[in-house]
A and B are shown apart, each in its own frame.
Chain A
């Protein structure tokens, strides 16, 4: 009697496993009646474009914003100015380009100070909007301003907002002339 039960259980287990495997294999092949592949559009250049409908997940973030005031522009909430030097590099004319990203202000003045020993170069520029971020409006220092003084220079970028908040960052750069 016990052996008979074991036999029945084994048969049931085998059947279930087998059916699962078959389902999986059949399901891999769309032509075998399984789930249909995502609709696509192939362009003249052979590019395959996904044409499946948008999903709830696609719209989840925007739907969460669909509350009273949820899509309003955000005011500045930071009390401090943050300055990030995004790049310092010399172009083909050896002009030094210093670029920065600012936060915590929408208007103000930037001051760039380059120093090496007794040599000092100072530049100022307004704060301006570059699409989604505020930046110091470009510091391009011609090679001639370095007066042939190549090597390591100390760079300081100071930002002052119109409401008198300030922030500065420093870094060393190497100038090749």
Chain B
């Protein structure tokens, strides 16, 4: 017993626990209650007429969700018992008995051709040519008659449960919306069928809304029955909205208390459910049928108020009324009693509002609200300080449509896109202009026709140049790019004056200059209103001073396109020529040909050139890359590498032209020519030697000595820039250095003695710079001996006084030498006198010398006659030559060779002395002189002494 008591207690406790849990969870709570029912305001006009509330796909998704699985074949059990079978009939069996056999097509799968009425009710899988889904039909009717598709969906459910029925009968489709189906009479067959019913219902609703006065129910006081049976009673209902009146015109009964007391069930015999169910289903599926706001007026008072709960605010105009999504037809006339319960607040309702306590501005139009960011607020002249502060819920009673953009268009009809400048609209003449202004994907807010239409029209915007307060700008992608006077002159088009609003809306970007760059990297040179595609990055860099103007394709497309630009040498209108390398170098007139050659520089505007800074000085005839040491000579449109710095010095010299340093890219734009040096030809056979910035000309024979024939030609126009100094020979001097050029080799010496031997002196030579002398391929010293460079002739000559003396023997050469031998062309040697053979002795300045082994030995005057006779007189070599020979001891009459042989000179011969005693007895008092064997061999031998 106690166990039973315990079990019973425990069971009671368990049940109590479950009950308590359910109370806490509140699962049975209903969102909607009878208290929410307002017979005069079942649904608001704005909601009822919102034809774009949901899309076709959303309608389809909704229908799919409501019937996840359609019992197409009726295989589920019905609720009807089949006695013979001892089971419930299947739906198919029961449908067949009732005249509605399977298959069954759920609304989500229904297809109908609206023109023919053909549908798939008899064959769910069959194709219906031209068929539309139920969702498409609903959306189509909604759009055509401006009725919320949700209204039609609810209508289909409250009339025939078509939305949720998973085995609907054909009969349900025939009178799907109950249109033209009297409660007390058969349906009108002319309006039967799903598509027909949907379109009929939508059309009826639209008629009821547009013309309420023509029908039984209209906003205002109405006598509305509870049931088709008038004996069930009626009540006066003050209908507040046209949509509510439309519902009553469609179904002319209101729920009685019993029906409201059981919202999801039945009432009593006098109940009706049509409008109750519509209200309930809409609330359950799609949310509230009423907004928090409405528009009202008082009887006999024209003032229209915006009602927000229990406050009303004057609406200053129909424009504002429509902005909030209302029309004049939606204004509910309140009876005095109701009206007097409301508090009037000010100021008037506005299109420009903000959430109270914030500075977030919203613009209201067409029943929508748009957030207005600060930039657009400035453009539109909106200010948080003057915007009407409203609760967020009030603003949200309109549909949020995102941000208000700078560009707007009308909802329909007028396809122009405008930017609203204060209270004016300015149309863009093309999408290109629009996109140039506001970017490639501009957001365009679609505002009501009435609002856009009412705005005053200012001149259209046909270009992206604006002016405000004396400043000119190029507009690109919501930015204004300041145009200097010169930049403004090279960009095309006229300038449109804009207001401070537009000026302030546009952010300031960097001012464009002569180069504009597209998003794809293409660079254009702008001039005279034309954009020229720049042929290469090198050209672009040459013209680049500062940054590129990065412009949108749309802005660029507003600039006409010209020919491709590949030049950086241009002509100004006054004829002056400039080289452009981030700055402009004036090319002096005498250098024009050097830079342009035979071409013509394109003419550019003065404004374009003015955008480039001036170089420190004009362009010179010499060019160099900043990154390379090679110096170039500008020569008839080409840059010619100068072979050496020496050549550059010779070419420039006293001209003192500066070298124009260019970036290597820019330099590369000038075509290259062959290397040039300071010995150029003139292209017509003439050869020239540059020295100190001037040039000499070389006669052909002299040119051979210079060996300048291989030098590249310099254009005559370049040569003409230089001063010609006349002909230049091959005997040259540089200060104390004298020399002569032979066959490309320069023989030189600073020894006066040697130069004299070669006949070089101030008179016979031309003064040139040492640099010129250094241009010779090789140099040599001025020697005493010369030989033909023809190996077949071994004659060696002594040169003295610019005369050649053939040396007849090696012994003589040894005596006169030693010294190096200059090998000269035969042509040179043949020009010199060589008729007199060289001698081993000379009488110079009254003294007679004999050359012995490279030294000079004086012969005492008393012995001269023994050494020489009139038949073999000594030569007369120059004192300079003589000075080159070192001294050795004087020679006497008796000479002795290295082998001890002794001779006595007599009449120009050497007579052997055969014995020492003979010497001793005859010449001991004179003594003897030792001589070389070479010299000894040069003296003829006579008879023994």
Indicate if the CB atoms of B13 and A66 lie closer than 8 Å. Answer: no
Bound together, the chains give a CA A21 to CA B25 distance in angstroms of 9
Indicate if the CB atoms of A45 and B10 lie closer than 8 Å. Answer: no
Given the complex, which residues of A lie within 8 Å of B163, measured CB to CB?
Answer: 54
Indicate if the CB atoms of A17 and B20 lie closer than 8 Å. Answer: yes
Given the complex, which residues of B lie within 8 Å of A54, measured CB to CB?
Answer: 66-67, 163-166
Given the complex, which residues of B lie within 8 Å of A17, measured CB to CB?
Answer: 13, 17, 20
- Whether B65 sits at the interface, judged by CB under 8 Å, is yes
- Whether A82 sits at the interface, judged by CB under 8 Å, is yes
Knowing A39-B65, A87-B218, A103-B228 are in contact, say whether A66-B252 is a contact too (CB < 8 A): no
**Shortest distance in angstroms between A13's beta carbon and chain B's nearest beta carbon?**
5
Given the complex, which residues of B lie within 8 Å of A85, measured CB to CB?
Answer: 223
Knowing A48-B287, A131-B249 are in contact, say whether A104-B218 is a contact too (CB < 8 A): no
Indicate if the CB atoms of B184 and A103 lie closer than 8 Å. Answer: yes
Which listed segment binds B: A67-75, A116-124, A143-151, A158-166?
A: A67-75
Bound together, the chains give a CA A100 to CA B217 distance in angstroms of 9
Bound together, the chains give a CA A75 to CA B182 distance in angstroms of 10
The closest CB in chain A to the CB of B300 belongs to A176
Bound together, the chains give a CA A134 to CA B18 distance in angstroms of 54
Given the complex, which residues of A lie within 8 Å of B220, measured CB to CB?
Answer: 87, 89
- Whether A9 sits at the interface, judged by CB under 8 Å, is yes
Given A16-B13, A132-B181, 11 new contacts (CB under 8 A): A41-B62, A47-B53, A49-B58, A67-B98, A87-B216, A101-B252, A129-B182, A131-B179, A132-B182, A132-B250, A134-B184
Bound together, the chains give a CA A9 to CA B8 distance in angstroms of 12
Bound together, the chains give a CA A71 to CA B178 distance in angstroms of 12
Which listed segment binds A: B229-237, B494-502, B710-718, B775-783?
A: B229-237
Indicate if the CB atoms of B20 and A21 lie closer than 8 Å. Answer: yes
Interface digits, B173-203 against A, CB 8 Å rule (1 contact, 0 not)? 0000011111111111000000000000000
User: What are 11 residue pairs bridging A and B, where the CB atoms are less than 8 Å apart in the complex?
Assistant: A24-B24, A45-B400, A49-B287, A51-B61, A58-B157, A59-B166, A62-B161, A62-B165, A66-B100, A129-B185, A133-B182
**Shortest distance in angstroms between A9's beta carbon and chain B's nearest beta carbon?**
7
- Whether B831 sits at the interface, judged by CB under 8 Å, is no
Of B25, B54, B230, B250, the residue contacting A131 (CB under 8 A) is B250
Indicate if the CB atoms of A49 and B286 lie closer than 8 Å. Answer: yes
Bound together, the chains give a CA A58 to CA B67 distance in angstroms of 11
- Whether B79 sits at the interface, judged by CB under 8 Å, is yes
The closest CB in chain B to the CB of A44 belongs to B55
Q: B residues bordering A, Cβ < 8 Å?
A: 6, 9-10, 13-14, 17-18, 20-22, 24-25, 53-54, 58, 61-62, 65-68, 78-80, 94-95, 97-100, 157, 160-161, 163-166, 168-169, 171-172, 178-188, 204, 213-218, 220-225, 228-231, 234, 249-252, 264, 284-287, 399-400
Given the complex, which residues of B lie within 8 Å of A135, measured CB to CB?
Answer: 216
Indicate if the CB atoms of A89 and B221 lie closer than 8 Å. Answer: yes
Given the complex, which residues of A lie within 8 Å of B79, measured CB to CB?
Answer: 63
Indicate if the CB atoms of B286 and A47 lie closer than 8 Å. Answer: yes
Bound together, the chains give a CA A74 to CA B181 distance in angstroms of 10
Interface residues of A in 69-123 (CB under 8 A from B): 70-71, 73-78, 82-87, 89, 91, 97, 99-101, 103-104, 106
Indicate if the CB atoms of A24 and B20 lie closer than 8 Å. Answer: yes
Indicate if the CB atoms of A132 and B178 lie closer than 8 Å. Answer: yes
Given the complex, which residues of B lie within 8 Å of A59, measured CB to CB?
Answer: 161, 164-166
Bound together, the chains give a CA A132 to CA B184 distance in angstroms of 8
Indicate if the CB atoms of B223 and A16 lie closer than 8 Å. Answer: no
Indicate if the CB atoms of A76 and B180 lie closer than 8 Å. Answer: no
Indicate if the CB atoms of B25 and A53 lie closer than 8 Å. Answer: no
Interface residues of A in 29-55 (CB under 8 A from B): 39, 41, 43, 45-55
Given the complex, which residues of A lie within 8 Å of B166, measured CB to CB?
Answer: 54, 59
Bound together, the chains give a CA A41 to CA B25 distance in angstroms of 24
Lowest 6 CB-CB distances: which A-B pairs, in order?
Answer: A54-B164, A73-B186, A24-B24, A20-B17, A62-B161, A82-B230
Of B22, B98, B178, B180, the residue contacting A129 (CB under 8 A) is B180
Given the complex, which residues of A lie within 8 Å of B223, measured CB to CB?
Answer: 84-87
Interface centre among A48, A106, A130, A132 (most CB of B within 10 A): A132
Bound together, the chains give a CA A89 to CA B213 distance in angstroms of 9
Total cross-chain contacts (CB, 8 A):
196
**Shortest distance in angstroms between B184's beta carbon and chain A's nearest beta carbon?**
5
Bound together, the chains give a CA A61 to CA B159 distance in angstroms of 10
Interface centre among A12, A17, A75, A103 (most CB of B within 10 A): A103
Determine chain A's interface SS by DSSP, over half rule. mixed
Given the complex, which residues of B lie within 8 Å of A12, measured CB to CB?
Answer: 10, 13
Interface centre among A70, A73, A104 (most CB of B within 10 A): A73
Knowing A19-B17, A89-B221, A101-B216 are in contact, say whether A28-B25 is a contact too (CB < 8 A): yes
Bound together, the chains give a CA A61 to CA B945 distance in angstroms of 177
Bound together, the chains give a CA A86 to CA B212 distance in angstroms of 13
Given the complex, which residues of A lie within 8 Å of B217, measured CB to CB?
Answer: 86-87, 99
The closest CB in chain A to the CB of B95 belongs to A66
**Shortest distance in angstroms between B888's beta carbon and chain A's nearest beta carbon?**
124
Indicate if the CB atoms of A52 and B65 lie closer than 8 Å. Answer: yes
Knowing A52-B65, A57-B264, A61-B161 are in contact, say whether A130-B249 is a contact too (CB < 8 A): yes
- Whether A126 sits at the interface, judged by CB under 8 Å, is no
**Shortest distance in angstroms between A82's beta carbon and chain B's nearest beta carbon?**
4
Given the complex, which residues of A lie within 8 Å of B224, measured CB to CB?
Answer: 86
Indicate if the CB atoms of B185 and A76 lie closer than 8 Å. Answer: yes
Indicate if the CB atoms of A53 and B62 lie closer than 8 Å. Answer: no
Given the complex, which residues of A lie within 8 Å of B97, measured CB to CB?
Answer: 68
Bound together, the chains give a CA A71 to CA B179 distance in angstroms of 15
Given the complex, which residues of B lie within 8 Å of A101, measured CB to CB?
Answer: 216, 225, 230, 252
Indicate if the CB atoms of A70 and B61 lie closer than 8 Å. Answer: no
Of B17, B165, B179, B184, the residue contacting A78 (CB under 8 A) is B184
Indicate if the CB atoms of A91 and B20 lie closer than 8 Å. Answer: no
The closest CB in chain B to the CB of A47 belongs to B287
Bound together, the chains give a CA A74 to CA B213 distance in angstroms of 30
Indicate if the CB atoms of A129 and B252 lie closer than 8 Å. Answer: no
Bound together, the chains give a CA A52 to CA B62 distance in angstroms of 9
Indicate if the CB atoms of A53 and B17 lie closer than 8 Å. Answer: no
**Shortest distance in angstroms between A59's beta carbon and chain B's nearest beta carbon?**
5
Indicate if the CB atoms of B186 and A24 lie closer than 8 Å. Answer: no
Of B164, B216, B231, the residue contacting A133 (CB under 8 A) is B216
Indicate if the CB atoms of B252 and A132 lie closer than 8 Å. Answer: yes
Of B68, B231, B234, the residue contacting A53 (CB under 8 A) is B68
**Shortest distance in angstroms between B415's beta carbon and chain A's nearest beta carbon?**
23
Interface centre among A12, A55, A74, A87 (most CB of B within 10 A): A87
Given the complex, which residues of A lie within 8 Å of B61, measured CB to CB?
Answer: 41, 51
Given the complex, which residues of A lie within 8 Å of B14, measured CB to CB?
Answer: 16
Bound together, the chains give a CA A67 to CA B80 distance in angstroms of 9
The closest CB in chain B to the CB of A100 belongs to B216
**Shortest distance in angstroms between B162's beta carbon and chain A's nearest beta carbon?**
8
Knowing A53-B67, A99-B215 are in contact, say whether A133-B183 is a contact too (CB < 8 A): yes
Indicate if the CB atoms of A49 and B67 lie closer than 8 Å. Answer: no
Knowing A12-B10, A16-B13 are in contact, say whether A133-B252 is a contact too (CB < 8 A): yes
Interface digits, A8-28 against B, CB 8 Å rule (1 contact, 0 not)? 010011001101110111011
Knowing A78-B184, A106-B185 are in contact, say whether A71-B164 is a contact too (CB < 8 A): no
Indicate if the CB atoms of B17 and A16 lie closer than 8 Å. Answer: yes
Indicate if the CB atoms of A71 and B54 lie closer than 8 Å. Answer: no
Indicate if the CB atoms of B53 and A45 lie closer than 8 Å. Answer: yes
Bound together, the chains give a CA A68 to CA B80 distance in angstroms of 12
Given the complex, which residues of A lie within 8 Å of B400, measured CB to CB?
Answer: 45-46
Indicate if the CB atoms of A131 and B21 lie closer than 8 Å. Answer: no
Given the complex, which residues of B lie within 8 Å of A86, measured CB to CB?
Answer: 216-217, 222-224, 252
Knowing A54-B164, A103-B228 are in contact, say whether A27-B25 is a contact too (CB < 8 A): yes
Indicate if the CB atoms of A131 and B180 lie closer than 8 Å. Answer: yes
Indicate if the CB atoms of B160 and A62 lie closer than 8 Å. Answer: yes
Given the complex, which residues of B lie within 8 Å of A71, measured CB to CB?
Answer: 169, 171-172
Knowing A55-B164, A89-B218 are in contact, say whether A129-B188 is a contact too (CB < 8 A): yes
The closest CB in chain A to the CB of B79 belongs to A63
Bound together, the chains give a CA A32 to CA B222 distance in angstroms of 52
Of A24, A68, A75, A132, the residue contacting B21 (CB under 8 A) is A24
